[in-house]
């Protein structure tokens, strides 16, 4: 075995610029969990099939389990922890997940919250079928997805309503 | 933690090629969605990798002066879907790659990776073949461009020479100009996050009066060891007047072109039945999209 | 009042922010890593294990093999201990096995300093086997001369029980009877909780501590102690939040092995996290059961005699064993009562992954067969399958002698009527009656039978502790576990109401720690709301008594004129609030005369059970040439008594319905016939439903308060999984006229069955006819 290879990664994590010396063999999930204690990034399969480790990279959703940590160099990474406000305020998506009973065991929840956040940030509207298409990379065994889709629908409605109100004011 | 012996991060296409020359044992790592899985299974454990993932110069869809659509090999499936050029001229490719995995996989996976894997179930394969796509390859010897149909050699093996990178996929104007009727059907056991049991892509060019099929191209994934075109089926309908009987003849003709196998994922008999059904439906939809009528 | 409200989950905030801690989140990053070496043959003996190469690798701490483990067989099923040996679980496996009985059995373990080293070392362990013939099919395994898995179980039969009633042979002599007979097959499926089983173990204060993702911490403590031959008090199990269980984690999976591993490295911290692939083949599955059902009915539909045979595939080890098939059989004579019965259930070992508990525990299998069979009878009689059920399903007042269950309300008919209306069933049934063309629709219905908890087969006991804080809030501790279903929230609702404090004043301690938490057997058998309810009710009343006694001293009013309402001591004669509970708690705790830390703790032993019934309505669209059945609509109706939290109840039903959809259309574990290896041990090839594979799900309730229950409630955890698959099957039958007697009804199955019934040719003929007379084509 050759000598371990380390590299400093410079990126923005949940809004804060950061750099960390890491083993280049680390997946993004390894780095976020082990080096930053961001435990919302969950491992359900380690091969990109369940979506429990979903994070936003430059606004797009990725499975952190099949992404090299060194690839986030210069990029912006957001996890569920980064969506909560400085005083613990829930994001629109998080609040909707609470209100719509979209949480059960909670293991897939952070991944779904991040996947839904990408839809909020797109500024687009979605039909229920389009929501299903856009959330299909996240598996859940508890909810039958019903309340999750409801929650994302609610979050989008509230988000767009808030935007309209802001314009009116 | 992935069991890699070493990781060499390329800073440009030329750098990537020189890294491959320097480290002949190293494998190319594009987005890695398949490589990481194999690494985890222990299959590629302990290997060296040249990562090209950071090479933005290999990303993007452009329309060249002669009308060629150039898709950088590292363009993600999502970016293909969003490309206005793709949507305007070859929307069928967007439809096809939109059937891949889920959003996360479409954001990660690349068209180059999908073709360099050389697997018959690659969702882009059938459509690219049906669009007469060509591949651009770069190595220390220079650039060569070959038809995608020749790039596929056998399952898991493509015509990539030592230290050679696939840099782009090219779709010529002649291949899409006038081919308004384009349709793709993926057959899988789930509606997302699934590997294709079969994939069928058809495009047609109709006569001005929409009565005659001037040209038809059909590509299939999983109908044989690698993605394939169906020449006999194409010949059956080329220059013919549209009719229900013609569609059936097309379906019937597919049997002479394809060579699906029985695996635990599906039997040969089932695949043959589906190939015929899908080909007929895909042709019908293509004709309708081109403004024709099937009666 | 908190009960009956759509109260927000107590754990929702922590779970949406990612703060809720699951096992791996709590484990120190420098833990040693354990990797299991699994057998690569389906049956045989380990001759040698060559660990030398693995041991030479830098970073490898220890390699342990099946030759090193204690020779103490263990039973892994998550059942309460029984004082009588005859009622205990079968103890048939070691921590690592020399006699390997399925492809993937546990042979050796590598302990290393990091993941990569552990993986490399595990691959470097060389195992030499003496191979034996193996058997994968349940019926073949019963034949004389079949490979024998466990010496003491002849013909591989782990269990065989029967229910005989009346005189079957005599009854079927009646003239004019119609005989309906069928074989029905259900698949091996997996729980697919998103968090794989994971634990970490270390030694502290002379004890072995295991932090684990389990549904049953107190039972795991007992099994672990037995496996290691330790006093039970020397083992401590801690259960944090878990990422789903569905019965798989109602088994001592790898916790005993993990506990043993730490003892082999001087008590150092060892983490044992298994992969998704291992979760599939090396934990537990739902028993695949093959049924043979025969019914003799009169032309008016009445049942004269029925025969039931079930062959349940246990896989390699006993785990929960025959209980599953026995439960499935138990439902059969109750659901449609009949005077003459011959029922036999067999549970049989095969060289496949081990079947254990999974949401529904034999009832999804039995309902698929039984409810498909009811539609087959209705078809034979040419009567409406819904009307047939309305007439013959268990009547109101039906009483069952063993469980002492009584069908107090006419739950079935109420549920069917409610569902039928919401579904617009009758109209659709007619509209889809005579269709032609490639694509057709159909509707189907199925009912289910369920009970609540395990009494009288096993112990039902639950303990609760309430601790009053100085501010008038309480800590609520239960041995019953939160596994995602919302138990913590409903427990808090119950405690708040019975005690008389606001819901927000109940702090549920979600984590179970067997050193601290009162005894409870855990999350299984849809028991917790019912069983835990008794313990909460009883303990809350005890705490309330203590509080009111102190209130008498503090307020100078007799306690019989005092009540605790919404967190205040209230004089009942005029409704005056005399003091807050917070003030009382503070005054009492810091009193220089009568200081008391006010707490209550009690155990309730439950000696009752309760029926929980309901039904599913399904609508499908079948594309015949494409061999695809798409579910358009699914509605479940449940009578689980009083709803403690309607929103959580709906959510629970949605999840069960989703599992039923997978069971009906998509999910099946596949095996290589040549080696016994599982082929689709990952979430790509095992077709768990995605968001795209569901229609919207409708959950409805009929609320007949259960008279035996502390809060009028009864089982809901498992029932939603039970009737979806047969409803889908019956809808496909309605759409196509093709009866499919196996599940999941995948495109492969549809292709085969449509071929057998010449459906493709018939479509072509139909088309040719239509082309010949193009007028009035197509019913739709």
Dump pLDDT digits (tens) for C300-316. 999 999 999 999 999 99
CB C440 within 8 A of CB C622: yes
The rounded distance, in Å, linking the Cα atoms of C485 and C358 is: 15
The reply to whether C653 falls in a domain is yes
In three-state form (DSSP H/G/I as H, E/B as E, the rest C), the secondary structure along chain B is CCCEEEEEECCCHHHHHHHHHHCCCCEEECCCCCHHHHHHHCCCCCEEEEECCCCHHHCCEEECCCCCEEEECCCEHHHHHHCHHHHHHCHHHHHHHCCCCCHHHHHHCEHHHHHHCCCCCCCCHHHHHHCCCEEEEEECCEEEEEEHHHHEEECCEECCCCCCEEEEEEECHHHHCCCCEEEEEEECCCCCCCCCCEEEEEEEEECCCCCEEEEEEEEEECCCCCCEECHHHHHHHCCEECCHHHHHHHHHHHHHHCCCCCECCECHHHHHHHHHHHHHHHHHHHHHHCCCCCC
Could you tell me which CATH class the domain A6-82 is placed in?
alpha beta
If you measure CA to CA, which chain C residue comes closest to A35? C29
Task: Tell me which residue in A38, A106, A133 faces C692 most closely, judged by beta carbons.
Answer: A133
The phi, psi pair for B283, rounded to 5°, reads: -65, -45
Cα angle: A87, vertex A93, A96; to 5 degrees: 100
CATH homologous superfamily of B177-289? CO dehydrogenase flavoprotein, C-terminal domain (3.30.390.50)
The reply to whether C752 falls in a domain is yes
CA-based nearest distance B134→chain C, Å: 30
CATH number at residue C38: 3.90.1170.50
CA-based nearest distance B93→chain A, Å: 18
The reply to whether C146 falls in a domain is no
Interface contact flag, C119 B3, Cβ < 8 Å: yes
pLDDT digits (tens, 9 = 90+) for C138-157: 999 999 999 999 999 999 99
Q: Are residues C731 and C617 in the same domain?
A: yes
The reply to whether C38 falls in a domain is yes
The rounded distance, in Å, linking the Cα atoms of B166 and B128 is: 15
Chain B residues in contact with A1 by the CB 8 A cut-off are 5, 46
pLDDT digits (tens, 9 = 90+) for C119-137: 999 999 999 999 999 999 9
Average per-residue pLDDT in chain C? 97
Specify the pLDDT at position A2. Answer: 56
**A124 Cβ contact partners less than 8 Å away, ≥ 6 residues apart:** none
Checking if the pLDDT of C778 tops 70, the result is: no
Interface contact flag, B5 A2, Cβ < 8 Å: yes
CATH 3.30.465.10 residue ranges in chain B? 60-175
Q: Are residues C527 and C437 in the same domain?
A: no
Residues of chain B with pLDDT under 70: none
Q: Percentage of chain A with pLDDT > 90?
A: 93
Task: Tell me which residue in A24, A51, A70 faces B104 most closely, judged by beta carbons.
Answer: A51
If you measure CA to CA, which chain B residue comes closest to A51? B104
Checking if the pLDDT of C446 tops 60, the result is: yes
CB C403 within 8 A of CB C343: no
The reply to whether C707 falls in a domain is yes
Chain B residues in contact with A61 by the CB 8 A cut-off are 103-104, 107
B-C C-beta contacts closer than 8 Å: 62
Checking if the pLDDT of C259 tops 90, the result is: yes
Sign of CA dihedral C222, C228, C230, C236: negative
Could you give the C-alpha distances from C195 to A29, A46, C211, C456, C684, in angstroms and in order? 15, 11, 14, 33, 16
Interface contact flag, A49 C22, Cβ < 8 Å: no
Checking if the pLDDT of C777 tops 50, the result is: no
Specify the pLDDT at position C223. Answer: 98
A66, A70, A120, A132: best to mutate for the B interface, most B CBs within 10 A:
A66
Interface contact flag, C116 A25, Cβ < 8 Å: yes
Task: Tell me which residue in B33, B54, B104 faces A61 most closely, judged by beta carbons.
Answer: B104
Q: Quick one: tokens of C86?
A: 């005859």
Checking if the pLDDT of A1 tops 70, the result is: no
CA A168 to chain centre: 31
Chain A residues in contact with B2 by the CB 8 A cut-off are 25-27, 68
For residue A49, give the 3-state DSSP assignment: coil
Question: Nearest to residue A152, comparing CAs of A102, A90, A85?
Answer: A102
CA-based nearest distance C12→chain A, Å: 6
Q: Are residues C347 and C386 in the same domain?
A: yes
C243, C248, C643: best to mutate for the A interface, most A CBs within 10 A:
C243
Chain A residues in contact with C25 by the CB 8 A cut-off are 39
CA atoms within 13 A on the CB side of C494: 34
Checking if the pLDDT of A19 tops 50, the result is: yes
For residue C254, give the 3-state DSSP assignment: coil
At CB < 8 Å, which residues of chain B contact A? 1-7, 9, 32-33, 36-37, 40, 46, 51, 53-54, 78, 101-105, 107-108, 191-193
Task: Tell me which residue in C683, C689, C751 faces B270 most closely, judged by beta carbons.
Answer: C751
CA-based nearest distance C401→chain B, Å: 45
Specify the pLDDT at position C394. Answer: 98
CATH 3.10.20.30 residue ranges in chain A? 6-82
Range of the domain at C430: 288-454+609-761
Could you give the C-alpha distances from C748 to B220, B265, C630, C742, in angstroms and in order? 20, 9, 14, 12
User: pLDDT band at A163, cuts 50/70/90?
Assistant: confident
Chain B residues in contact with C687 by the CB 8 A cut-off are 189-190, 194
The rounded distance, in Å, linking the Cα atoms of A38 and A79 is: 8
Task: Tell me which residue in A46, A94, A105 faces C17 most closely, judged by beta carbons.
Answer: A94
Give the containing element (helix H, strand E) for C237. Answer: strand C235-239
Q: Quick one: tokens of C387?
A: 């009307």
CB B120 within 8 A of CB B155: yes
Interface contact flag, C748 B277, Cβ < 8 Å: no
Task: Tell me which residue in C120, C684, C751 faces B195 most closely, judged by beta carbons.
Answer: C684
A87-111 mean pLDDT: 98
The reply to whether C482 falls in a domain is yes
CA-based nearest distance A102→chain C, Å: 8
Q: Are residues C577 and C482 in the same domain?
A: yes
Both ends of chain B: CA-CA distance in Å?
A: 59
As for how many domains chain C has, the answer is 3
Query: Do β-strands B47-51 and C697-701 pair in parallel, antiparallel, or remain unpaired?
Result: unpaired
Q: Are residues C439 and C468 in the same domain?
A: no
CB C24 within 8 A of CB A43: yes
If you measure CA to CA, which chain B residue comes closest to A54? B104
CATH number at residue C535: 3.30.365.10
- Cis, peptide link before residue C744, omega less than 30° from 0: yes
Beta bridge partners of C110: C35, C63
Interface contact flag, A66 B33, Cβ < 8 Å: yes
CA-based nearest distance B276→chain C, Å: 10
CA C693 to chain centre: 22
DSSP labels, C432-460: TTT--SSEEEEEEEEEE----S-TTTS--
pLDDT digits (tens, 9 = 90+) for C399-412: 999 999 999 999 99
Checking if the pLDDT of C645 tops 60, the result is: yes
Examine the fold and report which residue of C250, C273, C296 is the final residue of a domain before the chain moves on.
Answer: C273
Residue with tokens 């080909």: B279
**Predicted TM-score (pTM) above 0.90:** yes
**C620 Cβ contact partners less than 8 Å away, ≥ 6 residues apart:** C441, C442, C443, C444, C629, C630, C631, C632, C728, C731, C732, C735
Specify the pLDDT at position C514. Answer: 98
Helices C581-589 and C528-555 cross at an angle (nearest 10°) of 70
Q: Are residues C498 and C643 in the same domain?
A: no
Interface contact flag, B78 A60, Cβ < 8 Å: yes
Question: Nearest to residue B124, comparing CAs of B52, B225, B196?
Answer: B196
CB C448 within 8 A of CB C722: yes
The reply to whether C585 falls in a domain is yes
Chain B residues in contact with A44 by the CB 8 A cut-off are none
User: pLDDT band at C773, cuts 50/70/90?
Assistant: low
Q: Are residues C219 and C70 in the same domain?
A: yes
The rounded distance, in Å, linking the Cα atoms of C391 and B166 is: 69
CATH 3.30.390.50 residue ranges in chain B? 177-289
Task: Tell me which residue in C6, C12, C195 faces A103 most closely, judged by beta carbons.
Answer: C12
CB C642 within 8 A of CB C705: yes
Q: Are residues C41 and C111 in the same domain?
A: yes
The reply to whether C139 falls in a domain is no
Examine the fold and report which residue of C273, C299, C317 is the final residue of a domain before the chain moves on.
Answer: C273
Chain B residues in contact with C625 by the CB 8 A cut-off are 277
CA C697 to chain centre: 20
Q: Are residues C95 and C224 in the same domain?
A: yes
Q: Is some CB atom of chain A closer than 8 A to the CB atom of C11?
A: yes
Checking if the pLDDT of C502 tops 60, the result is: yes
CATH, range B60-175: 3.30.465.10
If you measure CA to CA, which chain C residue comes closest to B44? C120
User: pLDDT band at C779, cuts 50/70/90?
Assistant: very low
Query: Do β-strands B240-241 and C439-448 pair in parallel, antiparallel, or remain unpaired?
Result: unpaired
CA-based nearest distance B54→chain A, Å: 7
CATH 1.10.150.120 residue ranges in chain A? 92-168
Specify the pLDDT at position A4. Answer: 83
Chain A residues in contact with C721 by the CB 8 A cut-off are none
Interface contact flag, B103 A61, Cβ < 8 Å: yes
The rounded distance, in Å, linking the Cα atoms of B123 and B186 is: 8
Q: Choose between A164 and C473: higher pLDDT.
A: C473
Interface of C with B in 596-625 (CB under 8 A): 625
Beta bridge partners of C442: C620
Give the containing element (helix H, strand E) for C325. Answer: helix C323-335
CB A121 within 8 A of CB A156: no
Q: Are residues C39 and C126 in the same domain?
A: yes
pLDDT digits (tens, 9 = 90+) for C369-388: 999 999 999 999 999 999 99
Q: Is some CB atom of chain A closer than 8 A to the CB atom of C164?
A: no
Q: Are residues C94 and C208 in the same domain?
A: yes
Specify the pLDDT at position C774. Answer: 52
Q: Quick one: tokens of C285?
A: 């599955």
Interface of C with A in 245-284 (CB under 8 A): 245-246, 275-276
Domain covering A92-168 assigned CATH 1.10.150.120 in the classification? yes
Q: Are residues C297 and C431 in the same domain?
A: yes
CA-based nearest distance A74→chain C, Å: 25
C-alpha dihedral over C249, C254, C259, C261, to 10 degrees? -160
CA-based nearest distance B101→chain A, Å: 7
């Amino acid at each position: 075995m050759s000598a371990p290879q380390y590299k400093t990664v410079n990126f923005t994590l949940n809004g804060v610029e950061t750099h960390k010396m890491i083993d280049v063999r680390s997946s993004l999930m390894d780095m976020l969990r082990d080096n930053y204690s961001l435990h919302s990034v969950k491992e359900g399969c380690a091969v990109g099939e369940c979506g429990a480790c979903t994070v936003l990279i430059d606004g797009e959703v990725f499975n952190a389990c099949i992404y090299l940590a060194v690839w986030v160099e210069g990029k912006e990474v957001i996890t569920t922890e980064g969506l909560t406000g400085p005083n613990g305020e829930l994001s629109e998506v998080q609040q909707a997940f609470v209100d719509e009973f979209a949480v059960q065991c909670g293991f897939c929840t952070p991944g779904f919250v991040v996947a839904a956040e990408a839809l909020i940030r797109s500024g687009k509207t979605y039909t229920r079928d389009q929501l299903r298409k856009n959330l299909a990379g996240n598996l859940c065994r508890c909810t039958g997805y019903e309340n999750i889709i409801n929650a994302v629908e609610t979050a989008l409605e509230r988000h767009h309503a808030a935007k309209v109100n802001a314009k009116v004011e | 933690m992935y069991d890699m012996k070493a990781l060499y991060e390329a800073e440009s296409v030329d750098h990537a090629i020189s890294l491959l020359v320097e480290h002949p044992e190293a494998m190319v790592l594009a987005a890695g969605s398949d490589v990481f899985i194999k690494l985890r299974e222990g299959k590629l454990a302990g290997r060296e990798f040249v990562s090209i993932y950071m090479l933005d110069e290999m990303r993007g869809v452009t329309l060249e002066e002669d009308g060629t659509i150039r898709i950088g090999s590292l363009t993600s499936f999502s970016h293909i879907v969003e490309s206005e050029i793709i949507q305007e001229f070859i929307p069928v490719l967007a439809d096809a790659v939109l059937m891949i995995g889920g959003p996360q996989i479409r954001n990660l996976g690349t068209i180059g990776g999908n073709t360099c894997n050389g697997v018959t179930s690659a969702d882009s394969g059938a459509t690219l073949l049906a669009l007469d796509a060509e591949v651009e390859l770069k190595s220390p010897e220079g650039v060569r461009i070959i038809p995608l149909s020749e790039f596929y050699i056998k399952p898991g093996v493509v015509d990539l020479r030592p230290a050679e990178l696939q840099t782009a996929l090219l779709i010529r104007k002649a291949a899409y100009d006038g081919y308004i009727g384009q349709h793709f059907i993926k057959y899988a056991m789930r509606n997302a996050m699934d590997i294709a049991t079969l994939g069928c892509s058809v495009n047609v060019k109709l006569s001005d009066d929409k009565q005659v099929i001037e040209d038809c191209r059909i590509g299939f994934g999983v109908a044989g060891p690698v993605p394939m075109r169906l020449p006999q089926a194409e010949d059956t309908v080329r220059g013919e007047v549209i009719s229900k009987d013609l569609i059936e003849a097309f379906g019937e003709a597919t049997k002479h072109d394809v060579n699906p196998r029985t695996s635990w994922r599906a039997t040969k008999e089932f695949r043959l039945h589906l190939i015929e059904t899908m080909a007929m439906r895909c042709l019908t939809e293509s004709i309708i999209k081109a403004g024709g009528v099937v009666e | 009042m908190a009960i009956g409200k759509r109260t927000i989950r107590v754990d929702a905030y922590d779970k949406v922010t990612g703060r809720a801690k699951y096992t791996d989140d709590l484990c120190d990053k420098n833990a040693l890593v354990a990797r299991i070496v699994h057998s690569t043959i389906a049956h045989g003996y380990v001759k040698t294990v060559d660990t030398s190469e693995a041991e030479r690798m830098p970073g490898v701490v220890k390699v342990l093999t099946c030759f090193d483990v204690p020779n103490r067989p263990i039973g892994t099923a998550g059942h309460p201990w029984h004082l009588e040996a005859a009622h205990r679980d079968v103890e048939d496996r070691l921590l690592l096995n020399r006699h390997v009985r399925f492809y993937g059995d546990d042979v050796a373990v590598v302990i290393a300093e990091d993941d990569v080293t552990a993986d490399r070392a595990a691959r470097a362990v060389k195992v030499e086997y003496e191979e034996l013939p193996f058997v994968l099919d349940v019926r073949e395994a019963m034949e004389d001369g079949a490979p024998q898995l466990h010496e003491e179980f002849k013909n591989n039969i782990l269990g065989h029980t029967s229910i005989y009633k009346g005189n079957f042979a005599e009854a079927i002599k009646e003239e004019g009877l119609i005989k309906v007979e069928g074989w029905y097959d259900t698949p091996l499926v997996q729980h697919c909780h998103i968090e794989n089983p994971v634990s970490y173990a270390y030694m502290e204060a002379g004890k072995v501590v295991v932090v684990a993702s389990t549904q049953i911490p107190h039972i795991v403590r007992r099994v672990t102690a037995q496996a290691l031959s330790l006093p039970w008090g020397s083992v401590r199990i801690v259960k944090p939040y878990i990422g789903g269980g569905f019965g798989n984690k109602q088994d001592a999976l790898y916790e005993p092995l993990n506990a043993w591993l730490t003892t082999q490295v001087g008590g150092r911290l060892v983490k044992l996290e298994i992969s998704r692939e291992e979760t599939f083949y090396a934990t537990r599955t739902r028993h695949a059961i093959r049924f043979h059902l025969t019914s003799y009915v009169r032309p008016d539909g009445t049942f004269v005699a029925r025969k039931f045979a079930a062959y349940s595939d246990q896989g390699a080890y006993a785990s929960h064993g025959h209980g599953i098939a026995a439960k499935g059989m138990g439902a059969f004579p109750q659901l449609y009562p009949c005077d003459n019965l011959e029922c036999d259930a067999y549970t049989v070992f095969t060289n496949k992954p081990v079947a254990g508990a999974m949401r529904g525990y034999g009832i999804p299998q039995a309902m698929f067969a039984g409810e498909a069979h009811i539609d087959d009878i209705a078809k034979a009689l040419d009567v409406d399958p819904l009307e047939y059920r309305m007439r013959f399903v268990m009547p109101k007042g039906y009483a069952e002698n063993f469980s002492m269950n009584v069908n107090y309300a006419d739950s079935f008919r109420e549920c069917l009527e409610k569902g039928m209306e919401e579904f617009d069933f009758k109209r659709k049934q007619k509209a889809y009656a005579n269709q032609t063309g490639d694509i057709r629709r159909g509707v189907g219905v199925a009912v289910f039978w369920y009970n609540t908890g395990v009494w009288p087969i096993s112990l039902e006991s639950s303990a609760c502790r309430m601790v009053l804080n100085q501010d008038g809030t309480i800590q609520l501790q239960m041995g019953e576990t939160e596994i995602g279903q919302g138990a913590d929230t409903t427990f808090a609702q119950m405690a708040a109401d019975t005690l008389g404090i606001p819901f927000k004043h109940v702090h549920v301690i979600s984590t179970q720690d067997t050193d601290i938490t009162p005894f409870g057997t855990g999350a299984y058998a849809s028991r917790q709301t019912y069983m835990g309810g008794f313990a909460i009710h009883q303990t809350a009343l005890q705490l309330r008594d203590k509080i009111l006694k102190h209130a008498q001293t503090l307020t100078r009013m007799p306690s019989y004129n005092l009540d605790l309402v919404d967190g205040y001591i209230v004089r009942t004669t005029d409704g005056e609030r005399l003091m807050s509970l917070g003030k009382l708690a503070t005054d009492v705790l810091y009193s220089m005369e009568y200081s008391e830390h006010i707490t209550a703790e009690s155990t309730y032993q439950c000696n009752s059970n309760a029926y929980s019934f309901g039904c599913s309505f399904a609508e499908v669209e079948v594309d015949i040439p494409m061999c695809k059945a798409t579910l358009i609509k699914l509605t479940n109706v449940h009578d689980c008594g009083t709803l403690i939290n309607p929103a959580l109840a709906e959510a629970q039903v949605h999840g069960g319905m989703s599992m039923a959809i997978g069971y009906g259309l998509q999910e099946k574990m596949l095996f290589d016939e040549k080696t016994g290896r599982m082929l689709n041990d990952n979430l790509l090839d095992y077709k768990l439903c995605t968001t795209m594979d569901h229609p919207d799900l409708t959950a409805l309730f009929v609320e007949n308060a259960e008279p035996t229950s502390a809060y009028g409630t009864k089982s809901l955890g498992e029932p939603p999984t039970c009737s979806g698959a047969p409803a889908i099957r019956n809808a496909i039958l309605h759409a196509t006229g093709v009866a499919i007697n196996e599940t999941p009804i995948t495109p492969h199955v549809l292709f085969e069955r449509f071929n057998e019934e010449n459906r493709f040719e018939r479509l072509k003929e139909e088309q040719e006819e239509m082309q010949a007379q193009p007028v009035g084509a197509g019913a739709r």
